[in-house]
Amino acid sequence: MMIKKIKKWNKKYAINVAKNEGIKMQSKHWNIIYFARNFYLKFNMSPPIRILLIAINKKSQKKINSFSLIKLFPKNPSMQISKIAGIPKPNKCL
């Protein structure tokens, strides 16, 4: 199985991708993007939304759910998070 290499990524890259997606990055967005990137770097796979929500809610006092993600990433949370984070989309991403 061939593993896709992570794209050359930096904050400017993420802001440009987010802008193309119609998203103005705020701290809530960055928390999710950094989590997704770190997860990918550690496990060599993009985090499924369910795992992402569980892990973020363990660390944060302000709980989020799938509806919160849709508000932050309205077109398709899995796809938009992956694009902005510069990582491959999750395997079970629609």
pLDDT band at 80 (very low <50, low <70, confident <90, very high): very high
Residue 45 domain-assigned (yes or no):
yes
56 located within any domain:
yes
- Extract the tokens encoding 55: 């892990």
Name the pTM for this structure: 0.85
How many domains in the chain?
Answer: 1
pLDDT above 60 (res 6): no
The reply to whether 91 falls in a domain is no
Predicted local confidence at residue 2, as pLDDT: 43
Q: Is 64 part of any domain?
A: yes
Range of the domain at 53: 28-85
Position 2 in a domain: no
Query: Which residues make Cβ contacts (< 8 Å) with residue 69, sequence separation at least 6?
Result: 32, 49, 53, 77, 81
In 3-state terms the chain splits into helix, strand, coil percentages (rounded to 5) of 55, 0, 45
Active site residues: 93
- Asked whether residue 23 is assigned to any structural domain, the reply reads no
**CATH number reported for the structural domain that contains residue 70 in this entry:** 1.10.10.370
